[in-house]
Chain A
């Protein structure tokens, strides 16, 4: 049984433009994606909105392999900011999982 974290979406959201919850799971993005990414955007966005953090973490490679080419976004009928949402997810991995943001708390700052 998946562990749900109701605050997870707030830790991913960078600003008000994050709108994963607008997705209506129509599948157009998957149909047009040149890489045929199946889990991104809709499935991973649903995990974020539902607070299924472990599922999101399992899809790290998918999150980082998206080309940010925007072909899905310009075809999305719900106006989901797909590429900006993907960048927010990457930011989450960078800061919370890889501990990279270049600040003093950055894990690799002390050689």
Chain B
């Protein structure tokens, strides 16, 4: 029997309140992307992940475990589950994703760090204090829990004197840039997505990629944050030909991801409809959000290949020997 909406919302909210993430993941895995980068802790400007990419393989593992049981990825728990979760992190008893499942998601923040270094941007990281933004709890309307969590996140920025956060995914960008100022009096943090930063500074890769890609705009980037031109400008410079699907830019269609925690079948059906639109214009797709990536790739199976935009952006620089030197900050 599917878990009731009330229990699912309750477990996610409890996790954020008690464990600072909707799905607590081991700290070592949340910061694996920093390996080899020799980043400083804190500083005026940080690259902030909000753990979004790192969370995906854990969510997928739960989806895979729970899918047979019915409607929701927490469906294995009865109403009793939320009470137990108060004292024991029940998600920690689930199977954990292996190195292979994690590595694709660890790679993205690492890619972004390399691209920013190449553009001459100096930044640090908050490592294990780079916390989840609370985006899902905001969507679910649990505002009191979100507000308390946002305060914790902001205190970390203040503790390290951070003035600017460079974000990667649309959800963390929206929370830090647009939602937090409505929750925290005197909030003062400059927030830009790395796509905006690179587009402003000039990206100019030396190598040209070839081929066509169907662009999938994230709803949150396009309609909440106005990030539409930056990804196009950057992709164009790689030499790739951008193909626009029927619903695109500020009229983009959702990947279905936001429905996954409560209504996975609705999410999957929407992802399939979106893949059909994208496949009609190109055989490869480019995404800029981890939820879009995982939902669309899952719906497409082997009929279409998706890549995160940072993979393409980095590939177009690789002939420059973009390796150890940039990774080490020299």
Interface residues of A (CB under 8 A from B): 14, 34-35, 60-61, 64-65, 67-71, 73-74, 87-94, 97-98, 100-103, 108-109, 111
> Which residues of chain B (8-32) have a CB below 8 Å from chain A?
9-10, 13-14, 17
Q: Are A108 and B14 in contact (CB under 8 A)?
A: yes
CB distance from A47 to the nearest CB of B (A): 17
Q: Are A71 and B139 in contact (CB under 8 A)?
A: no
Q: Are B10 and A98 in contact (CB under 8 A)?
A: yes
Given contacts A67-B270, A108-B10, A111-B87, contact A102 B141 (CB under 8 A): no
Q: Are A88 and B141 in contact (CB under 8 A)?
A: yes
Q: Are B219 and A101 in contact (CB under 8 A)?
A: no
Alpha-carbon distance between A88 and B219 when the two chains are bound, in angstroms? 20
Given contacts A34-B270, A74-B250, A102-B13, contact A67 B144 (CB under 8 A): no
CB distance from B112 to the nearest CB of A (A): 25
Q: A71-B252, A91-B142 are in contact. List 12 more A-B contacts (CB 8 A).
A: A61-B5, A64-B5, A65-B259, A67-B259, A67-B270, A68-B219, A71-B251, A87-B138, A91-B141, A94-B9, A108-B10, A108-B82
Residues 266-284 of B, flagged 1 when their CB comes within 8 A of A and 0 if not, give 1000100110000000000
**6 tightest A-B CB contacts, nearest first:** A90-B141, A98-B6, A91-B141, A69-B254, A70-B223, A69-B219
Residues of A within 8 A of B9 (CB): 94, 98, 100
Interface residues of B (CB under 8 A from A): 5-6, 9-10, 13-14, 17, 82-84, 86-87, 138-145, 148, 219, 223-224, 247, 250-254, 256, 258-259, 262-263, 266, 270, 273-274
Do most interface residues of chain B lie in helix, strand or loop, or is the interface mixed?
A: helix
Q: Are A101 and B259 in contact (CB under 8 A)?
A: no
Residues of B within 8 A of A102 (CB): 13-14, 17, 142, 144-145, 148
Alpha-carbon distance between A109 and B14 when the two chains are bound, in angstroms? 9
Alpha-carbon distance between A92 and B259 when the two chains are bound, in angstroms? 19
Alpha-carbon distance between A25 and B57 when the two chains are bound, in angstroms? 42
Q: Are B223 and A69 in contact (CB under 8 A)?
A: yes
Q: Which residue of A lies closest to B88 (CB)?
A: A111
Given contacts A65-B266, A100-B10, A102-B17, contact A111 B83 (CB under 8 A): yes
Residues of B within 8 A of A109 (CB): 86
Alpha-carbon distance between A93 and B142 when the two chains are bound, in angstroms? 10
Residues of A within 8 A of B253 (CB): 34, 69, 71
Q: Are B142 and A69 in contact (CB under 8 A)?
A: no
Q: Are B13 and A14 in contact (CB under 8 A)?
A: no
Residues of A within 8 A of B263 (CB): 61, 64-65
Residues of B within 8 A of A91 (CB): 141-143
Q: Which residue of A lies closest to B219 (CB)?
A: A69
